[in-house]
Amino acid sequence: MKIICVAGARPNFMKIAPLMAAFRASGGLEAFLVHTGQHYDRQMSELFFDQLGIPAPDANLGVGSGSHAVQTAEIMRAFEPIVLEQRPAAVLVVGDVNSTIACGLVAVKLGVKLVHVEAGLRSFDRTMPEEINRLLTDAISDLLFCTEQSGADNLKREGVPAERIFLVGNVMIDTLLRNRDKAAASTILADLKLAERQYAVLTLHRPANVDDPAILGGLLDAIEQIQRRLTVVFPVHPRTRKNLATGPLGKRMEAMGGLRMIPPAGYLDFLRLMSCAAVVLTDSGGIQEETTILKVPCLTLRDTTERPITAEVGSNRIVGTDPVKVLAAFNEVLAGKFPPPQVPPLWDGHAAQRIADILVEKL
Ligand code: UD1
């Protein structure tokens, strides 16, 4: 039974890796991997295929960057002939990026079953492009696999029949657990001359944070204070680098002696960096989940999360972008005021296997 699996942007790669492995091992499922090319730099794409042992894509659409409309449309145009040619039993998409909705839409319009992994997550903030991608993908999916109970609850509330919803755990955590030992061999701490728990990790790439100079400026006010107390390691996403290069804020950051701006890190180096950090400050979705498992305090620089379990049982705190609040939360971390996190149900490294078993039964 052939399934076209779609990956396009960096956070997709750690989700698709364990699925490809589980499908290969299942005997009954033949995976045909499509890379849309949404992310294309070696540091954003190829490195992840190498490190995570993802097989080379069977097709690369090479779509690249563009406005939302252009990127989504180009992916759809390039993906349609592949579905027509391969005639799969299903198309499987992961996460919430533009590649997810673009390929999902193509599949259902051709009458092919759609499978969504990481379904049901909701920030309830429709200004986030990912929230629109999540809502639309879930509305047209036939089988919906959830990482946490809130996802299943949201779907039921939106009218998705219960028999289509499966709470299976988190494929991103499958990848984390599988690669933890390998990451321990990374030399990134020595390369950057960092000592364990003596530094913070920062990531920022959401348009709402990095495209708005007022918000980014406020965050820099907090970071300026933080880097005086703790070295801050900041792997800079291409979108953020572009914004910093063209505005005055880049210069301000360069002047901060305790802030270490580095290129986007590969998976193993970044896992090592997170594992040994005193605290992680981020606007990413996936990092909230990874820090929960690593038991490292995470301050989420957004007003909402679509992953509430990480704040309920995990080490994640939703602090927003107000510098006063960010600093207050940072001080609490340093004072050791973060309760020890628990592992969310089913985040045990076997989510991809559960998905493979259900697909064999249902398709
Ligand atoms: C995308 C996802 C976001 C995800 C993020 C992870 C959507 C709507 N957004 O955002 O959910 O959290 O990926 O990284 O799908 N660029 C490069 N090299 C690359 C890729 C991008 O230089 O390999 C630059 C380009 O200038 C591009 C910009 O980054 O215009 C943004 O890339 P894009 O794929 O549009 O969105 P992301 O911000 O990466």
Distance 338 CA to ligand 1 centre (A): 32
Asked if residue 39 has its Cβ within 6 Å of ligand 1, the reply is: yes
Cβ atoms of residues 32 and 2 within 8 Å: yes
Total residue length of the chain: 363
Q: Which atom of ligand 1 is nearest to the CA of 44?
A: 23
Note the pLDDT tens digit of each residue in 309-350.
Answer: 999 999 999 999 999 999 999 999 999 988 889 999 999 999
Q: Which of 65, 131, 203, 300 to mutate to test the pocket of ligand 1 (most atoms within 8 A of CB)?
A: 65
* Structural domain boundaries in the chain: 2-169+347-362, 180-334
Q: What pLDDT sits at residue 246?
A: 84
Q: What pLDDT sits at residue 27?
A: 86
Distance 283 CA to ligand 1 centre (A): 14
205 flagged as catalytic: yes
Distance 8 CA to ligand 1 centre (A): 10
Asked if residue 9 has its Cβ within 6 Å of ligand 1, the reply is: yes
Instruction: Please tell me the CATH superfamily of domain 2-169+347-362, with its number.
Output: Glycogen Phosphorylase B; (3.40.50.2000)
* Torsion angles phi and psi, residue 108, rounded to 5: -65, -30
Q: CA 292, 298, 303: angle at the middle one, nearest 5?
A: 110
What is the phi-psi region of residue 232: left when phi exceeds 0, alpha when psi lies from -120 to 50, beta otherwise?
beta
Q: What pLDDT sits at residue 248?
A: 85
Q: Which of 190, 219, 217, 189 is nearest to 202 (CA)?
A: 219
Q: Which CATH number fits domain 180-334: 3.40.50.2000, 1.10.260.40, 3.40.640.10, 2.40.50.100?
A: 3.40.50.2000
Intrachain domains 2-169+347-362 and 180-334 with the same fold: yes
* Torsion angles phi and psi, residue 304, rounded to 5: -135, 165
Protein residue with least CA distance to atom 16, ligand 1: 238
Distance 239 CA to ligand 1 centre (A): 6
Q: Considering 39, 116, 205, 350, which one is annotated as catalytic?
A: 205
Protein residue with least CA distance to atom 15, ligand 1: 97
321: Cβ contacts below 8 Å, ≥ 6 apart? 209, 215, 218, 219, 301, 302, 303
Q: What pLDDT sits at residue 72?
A: 98
Note the pLDDT tens digit of each residue in 65-109.
Answer: 999 999 999 999 999 999 999 999 999 999 999 999 999 999 999
Asked if residue 302 has its Cβ within 6 Å of ligand 1, the reply is: no
| Residue 68 burial (CB count, 10 A) | 12
Q: Which atom of ligand 1 is nearest to the CA of 207?
A: 38
Distance 274 CA to ligand 1 centre (A): 21
| Residue 143, pLDDT above cutoff 90 | yes
Instruction: Give how far Cα 30 sits from Cα of 108, 129, 196, 354, 360, Å.
Output: 20, 32, 43, 16, 11
Q: Which of 129, 124, 141 is nearest to 308 (CA)?
A: 124
Confidence tier at 247 by pLDDT (50, 70, 90):
confident
Asked if residue 129 has its Cβ within 6 Å of ligand 1, the reply is: yes
Asked if residue 350 has its Cβ within 6 Å of ligand 1, the reply is: no
Protein residue with least CA distance to atom 22, ligand 1: 238
What's the half-sphere exposure (Cβ side, CA atoms, 13 Å) at 105?
17
Distance 37 CA to ligand 1 centre (A): 11
Note the pLDDT tens digit of each residue in 3-59.
Answer: 999 999 999 999 999 999 999 999 889 999 999 999 999 999 999 999 999 999 999
